[in-house]
Amino acid sequence: MTILSVSSALPRSFAQRLRQQQCSHFLRSFSTSLSKTHFTRPHFFPSVLRWSACVASSLPMLTATLLASLLSVKTGEVWLSRWAGVQRSIFGMTMHIDDRNVSRGGYESPRGFVFVLLNQSSLSEMFLHTSMLPALPKPSFVFANIEYLLIPLFGWTVAALGAVPVVRQWSSQARRALDRAAQKIRDGHSCYISIEGQRSRSGDLGVFKRGAAVLAIQAQADIVPVMFLGARDRLPYGERRFRPGHVIVIFGERVPTEGMTFDDRFELTERLRQCAEQELGQGLAASMSQTSS
C-alpha cells in the first residue's frame, strides 16, 4: 500500500515540479521580452500622448481647413498654416526661416518662383512647408506626387489649395502636369516642389530628379533652393517618436534660369546638388561645433 502510494506520488510530484519550472521559465521570458518592448521606454507614453493630440486636433482643424479652401484659397492657406503651428507646438518643434534673398532685392518679378526642396528626409517636414505657404511670395501651389495628395484630409486640403498632381508612372500625364505648372508660374504663381520626390531613408541626399529643373527652365523662372536643417533629427525615417527641437529653414540665393534651354537641365540639377551638399556640410559642421562646446 505504501509502495503503491509512493510510486503513484512520484509522477505527480515530478509533473508538479515540471509545471513550476515551466511557469517560472515563462515568467522570466515574459519579463525579459516586456523589458525590450516600447512600453518600458521612457519616451513611449509622451509619444503616445503627442500623437493622440495630433490626431484629435487634426480631424476638426483639417476638416474646417478643407471646407475653407473650397471657398477661398488664401483663407485655406492661413488655416493650414495655423494647423501646422498647432502641431509644431504639440510636438515641441520650433523653426525659423533664414532667407538669403531679403538683402538681395527680395522677390520682385512678374513671374512666380520655383521653391525647390533639396533634402526630403522626414514626415515632420509637412509641418514646416505648410507653415511657409502664406509667407511665400505671390500665390503659391504645390507640385506633388498623387500619393501625397491622397493622404486623407491633409492631402485633400493641399489639393484643394490648387496643387498640381503628377503620376510618376504615367509619363504623358507627367508632361501635361509640367506644362500646367509652368503656365501657372508664368502667370505669377510660385511653386513648391521636392527635387527628390520621396524621403531619404538614411538622411543622405537621394537621387536628384530633373523635373524641378525642367519646370523652372520651361517657365523661365528663378529657383529658390530650400533646405531643412534638423527636420530629420526631430522624426527620423521609420520611427514614431518625435524628438522636440529646433529646425532651420534656409531659402538659398535665387538661381536664375532666364535664357536656359532644355539641354541645360543636367547642369542646373547638378548646381542644385552642389548647393545642397554645401548647406548640409555647413549645417553638420555647425552642429558638431555646438556639441563640442
Buried b vs exposed e over 136-157: b needs ≥16 C-beta within 10 Å? bbbbbbbbbebebbeeeebbbb
Residue 17's pLDDT band (cuts 50, 70, 90): low
Consecutive H or E run containing 144: strand 140-145
Q: Given this model, what pLDDT does residue 47 score?
A: 81
Q: Tell me: the pLDDT tens digits for 194-222?
A: 887 767 666 677 778 899 999 999 999 99
Q: pTM of the full predicted structure?
A: 0.78
Instruction: Summarize the confidence of residues 166-190 as an average pLDDT.
Output: 91
Residue 88's pLDDT band (cuts 50, 70, 90): very high
Q: Given this model, what pLDDT does residue 159 score?
A: 93
Task: State the chain's mean pLDDT as an integer.
Answer: 81
Instruction: Summarize the confidence of residues 66-84 as an average pLDDT.
Output: 92
- Looking up cell 511657409 gives 132
Q: Tell me: the pLDDT tens digits for 4-16?
A: 443 444 455 544 5
Instruction: Summarize the confidence of residues 57-67 as an average pLDDT.
Output: 95
Q: Given this model, what pLDDT does residue 283 score?
A: 54
Question: CB-based contacts of 181: which residues, under 8 Å, 6+ apart?
Answer: 141, 143, 164, 191, 215, 219
